């Protein structure tokens, strides 16, 4: 269904709805615009000058709640600490960490060197499971 057909169907439906609505009719007896002056009379008050009104003797200031302790300032330019390695690291986690490291340093050779240095292997499938966490930590730190 094309856009034009959809718009045409919407327009036809709106016209049908408009025909079903009753026409608004003006009231026969218009209501007064403002209430009578006697009903809205306000007792006269003394004329005050400009500025904040003075506190009366009966008012007590509201107790001020102690301010919440300020949160420690966070340095937006501080180096982030590497994400902690989850307890159960998978080979996909190692691969994702190495790919992220490779993109960060913009060099696949450096990623391979990191794998060789920390894991002691040239290719990821040969990496022993015991060294998966160390490679992830090194990739996240680097």
Q: What is the pLDDT of residue 71?
A: 66
Q: What span, in angstroms and rounded, lies between the C-alpha atoms of 123 and 134?
A: 15
Q: Tell me how crowded residue 101 is: count the other CB atoms within 10 A of its CB.
A: 22
Q: What is the pLDDT of residue 96?
A: 92
Which has more confidence, 74 or 97? 97
Compute CA distances 55 → 40, 42, 60, 139, whole Å: 27, 22, 9, 66
For 48-87, write each residue's pLDDT tens digit: 678 887 777 665 666 666 666 666 677 667 666 655 655 6
Q: Assess whether pLDDT exceeds 80 at residue 29.
A: no
Which has more confidence, 16 or 33? 16
Q: Assess whether pLDDT exceeds 70 at residue 34.
A: no
Q: Tell me how crowded residue 104 is: count the other CB atoms within 10 A of its CB.
A: 13
Among 2-11, 29-38, 45-54, which range has the highest average pLDDT? 2-11
What percentage of residues in the chain have a pLDDT greater than 70?
61
Q: What is the pLDDT of residue 100?
A: 93
Mean per-residue pLDDT over the chain, rounded: 77
Q: Assess whether pLDDT exceeds 70 at residue 135.
A: yes
Task: Give the 3-state secondary structure of residue 91.
Answer: helix
- Torsion angle, CA of 113/116/122/128, rounded to 10 degrees? -140
Return the DSSP state at 117.
I
């Amino acid at each position: 269904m094309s856009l034009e057909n959809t718009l045409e169907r919407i327009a036809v439906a709106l016209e049908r709805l408009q025909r079903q609505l009753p026409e608004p009719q003006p009231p026969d007896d218009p209501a007064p615009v403002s209430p009578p002056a006697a009903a809205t009379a306000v007792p006269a008050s003394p004329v005050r000058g400009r500025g904040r009104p003075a506190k009366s003797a009966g008012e007590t200031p509201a107790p001020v709640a102690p301010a919440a302790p300020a949160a420690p300032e966070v340095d937006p330019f501080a180096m982030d600490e590497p994400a902690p390695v989850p307890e159960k690291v998978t080979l996909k986690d190692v691969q994702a960490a190495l790919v992220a490291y490779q993109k960060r340093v913009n060099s696949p050779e450096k990623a391979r060197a990191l794998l060789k240095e920390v894991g002691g292997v040239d290719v990821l499938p040969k990496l022993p499971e015991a060294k998966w966490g160390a490679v992830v930590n090194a990739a996240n730190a680097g």
